[in-house]
Amino acid sequence: MFKNPWLKSLWELMYPAPEFCPFCHTGIVPEGLPACGACTARISPSMHRLSLARYQGFAVGVYDDYLQYLLHQIKYLNQYQPAVALGKIMALAAREQPELGSVDYFLPVPLHHQRLQQRGFNQADALAAGMNQVWPHRVCSAVRIKPTEFQSGLSPSERVKNLRRAFMLTNPAAVRGKRVLIIDDIFTTGATFYSLADLVHSHRGEPLGLFLTYRRS
Ligand SMILES: [Zn+2]
């Protein structure tokens, strides 16, 4: 159509190619939004306040149906971009929540390096990267010093015991007096969250939680 590359560039600037939805790959993404209208409706993001024994926590959706399907795709097919898009959705919902207005840091829940090698990327990091695109924050990091591969067969109290001292903050002094938003894909028993939140608390930070989904018990 264009012999002149300059004209082609100008045309593309005026009429950009439609962006396909990172979830269904067929819907068109409206400008400035993370996903097509149909997928956004299926995800139906809204803020659910979790009733936690200590600290405040929120989830953007329930772990069932479409979000469960998307998380499986991301995990087993190693899909980074859909995870980033889900992070954008989390941020769009979370930044309207008054309790989260003065957060200082994002803290994605780390994976143990063995798992990271198997997986290629950490889902919580990808969610935080997506969040940062629409709601920029400094990120503080932690490392998982114990592999916690065998959580699923354990009772809640055994999980807590198993996760005790499972994490280390990369820069513990940075969280002092700061509000730290811990980010993860699923809230189940809260054992992982509490382990990391207690660590932040022990360094005089104020931990909060934001999860893409929670499991209804
Ligand atoms: Zn879609």
What is the spatial distance between Cα 130 and Cα 92, in angstroms, rounded to a whole number? 10
pLDDT in tens, 92-118: 999 999 999 899 999 999 987 777 777
Report CA(24)–ligand 1 centroid distance (Å).
4
Question: Domain extents for the chain?
Answer: 1-43, 47-214
Report CA(202)–ligand 1 centroid distance (Å).
42
Tally Cβ neighbours within 10 Å of residue 115: 14
Report the candidate in 88, 78, 92, 79 with the shortest Cα–Cα distance to residue 130.
Answer: 88
Residue 209: both structure tokens together: 């939680």
Pairing of strands 56-62, 138-139: unpaired
Report CA(42)–ligand 1 centroid distance (Å).
9
Report CA(103)–ligand 1 centroid distance (Å).
30
Amino acid at 165: R
Instruction: Decide if 163 contacts 192 (C-beta within 8 A).
Output: yes
pLDDT in tens, 49-76: 999 999 999 999 999 889 999 999 998 8
Instruction: Decide if 12 contacts 67 (C-beta within 8 A).
Output: no
What is the spatial distance between Cα 38 and Cα 181, in angstroms, rounded to a whole number? 29
CATH topology of domain 47-214: Rossmann fold (3.40.50)
What is the spatial distance between Cα 193 and Cα 186, in angstroms, rounded to a whole number? 10
pLDDT in tens, 194-207: 999 999 999 999 99
For 16-79, where are the alpha helices, taking DSSP H only?
Answer: 37-43, 65-77
Give this prediction's pTM: 0.87
